[in-house]
Amino acid sequence: MIIKGYAQSILDGIDVDSEKSVAQVIKTESERLERRITQLLRLNTLSHALEYSENREIVRVDRLLKSLVSKFSVVRPELNWKLDLKELEVKVDPEVILIAFENIIENQLRYAESSIEILMDVNEKIEVKISNDGPPFELNDPMELFDSYKKDKEGKFGLGLAIVRQVIEVHGGTIIAYNTNKSVEFKIIF
């Protein structure tokens, strides 16, 4: 989505930083896409592989989210991004947690009408809420969104949210999806 957004901006003649920085973003995102495809091929063994992964580092979740918002805001520049981020650290596999947050934000972009909101809170646990003002989930149980190969309204199959759930759960967290009065929301709890 990021690659497509930057390429479309160039084609539409929208002023972007510089061709070199755009080329670098496209190159970086192409490399990330290649890694993501590898992850998709390993979907059935992802939980097992992550469970025994020793690649855990302290990651600042707020910085990761700011970076993603910066990249994704090019895809739909008309959206209003509301951020309330706190300096939060978690010990995770940095590459796969990045993929999980990318998948959630891509989902939010797909359905948002005018805004996306990302809130972070720390009480007994760390909570990250990501919501958009698009149409409500039409499922009786929005948690079905996290099932592998769940069809969307257009009949397309997806793996993105199934991967998100696996990644979050392997890191000792939970993720839930639900409708609110004015939005649809994903809540991640670590």
Residue-range definition of the domain harbouring residue 171 = 2-189
- Distance between terminal CA atoms of the chain? 27
The domain that holds 6 is classified in CATH as 3.30.565.10
Residue 25, pLDDT above cutoff 60: yes
How far apart CA 26 and CA 24 sit, in angstroms, is 5
pLDDT in tens, 61-85: 999 999 999 999 998 999 999 999 9
Range with the poorest average pLDDT among 18-27, 32-41, 128-137: 32-41
Query: Dihedral angle at the C-alpha atoms of 189, 178, 136, 157, nearest 10 degrees?
Result: 70
Number of structural domains the chain divides into: 1
Output the pLDDT for position 153. 59
Token pair of 155 as six digits: 């009949």
Model pTM score: 0.74
